[in-house]
Chain A
Amino acid sequence: MALIKDVAKVCKSKNAGPFELTIDVVFDTAEMFNRVKATGVLCPALFARLYDVPEEYVLFTPYDAAFAFKATFPRLVPAGDFGDTDVYGCQQHAPLLDVDLPI
């Protein structure tokens, strides 16, 4: 078992436009990327659960060329609207750090 924060090289969040948040998890070797991919843990359902969004709103894309996984889903509040806590969306990654990967 391994936590994402111990095996990933990048785990970050950011706006993808004012209405969506995008989260990237990047590994530094094809070998590690493929091992993680094979577990199936990183998937739309994981993001739906961690961020409380309907699964069908999660656009999930493994990107083999970059050894990366990307998930994009609606922000809780549009950037800059009343109640937004993170205008740039760059501090929304923490729940992923402790996700345990059976590798």
Chain B
Amino acid sequence: MAFENNVDVEHPVHDIRTEAIKNFETKGFPSKKEEAWKYTSLNSLQKIDFSIFPKEENALEYKDVKRYSLHEIDTYKIVFVDGIYSSYLSETTHDGVDICLMSSALTKPMYKQIIDVYFNKVASKDESLTTLNTAFSREGAYIYIPKNKMPKKPVEILHFATGNEASLLLQPRNLVIVEENAEVQIIERHQSLTANEVLTNSVTEIFAAESAIVDYYKIQNDASGASLIDNTYINQKSKSNVNVHTFSFGGKLTRNNLNFYQNGEYMDSTMKGVTILGEKQHVDHHTLVHHIEPNCESHQDYKGIYGENSTGVFNGKIIVDKIAQKTNAFQQNNNILVSDKATINTKPQLEIFADDVKCSHGCTIGQLDEDALFYLQSRGIPKKEARALLMYAFANNVLESVRIPELKRRINKLIAKKLGVNLGFDL
């Protein structure tokens, strides 16, 4: 794959890119020999001859993609079709906040100062897929919320793949900067419109300044040929609050690398996830929380329901530095296997160097509770619906913290659909 031709030497981040290419060339794609990739193989994806950039611009009509956006409410939208920005489907703004394109942020002089301070500053310099993105990404969302501001409405970042290419590689790059006491809500979704192969290698950098609040929702309910590698890096300052919800209901292979770095005190980082898989789908959640300073909290709660031949991975790493006393770090991963052929590998990984901390972790793998099932059946609810209701109840508490009611309703509907039932009421 010769991408080098596409690197612009005049570009202000040219040096960063050159270094990233070098690092990627040294490391190459991760293999199963690496501990972090033990249960997720990229072999089959590497065999595919992906198009890097579509031959022509592919247009979509709003009616074709409306259902993938949260159209019940008004939102800002940054929409990409086969990796190319669609101004027709988007609604951006510069009214007090900047909700626009990475390509303009990288090229327009007015953003240079911010780019210099933030671009590629929290993303890994040596994780190979991140470096690949750093080297070749051309587009993505740029969100800048100045001090004390909050956009009037949530922001949706939507990526559509038309299927006009037999196989497509997308490398979106998002930069989210939320200044002191500012707030933003973001929903990110990748949607392939056909069963064709799509591989998305996405990198998102989030900077939350003092007392900033960031709610980030990832909806992963993609088509059968779509794979996603999501690398999200979050740098948090004192008293900030960053919540990431990941809803993984589909796609062929999904890898979430979610990394929190707590650079300050009295802050809270929350990671929640609901995973419901079937067929031969695979989802791998790798989380990292690095408690660098004292008096902070982190909360992780991932629920998984695995059916048919699906496979799941949860690897939750918590590092508490020696000076990070009074850290409260909680991690929970509960799974239900509804098929004999489904598997889950779950692993907490705690590296605690401080002595005055509260850290707890728990993982469970089980089947549905037979007594609970009998209870529902005895009320006249057939077994299939009863099972679905119990699975819904199992996943439910993860949804409580979703702060956009319409989104919560959407996710509820997606869960009911994914569980294959009509529960007889609007969840």
Q: Do A and B bind each other?
A: no
Chain B residues with CB under 8 Å of chain A are none
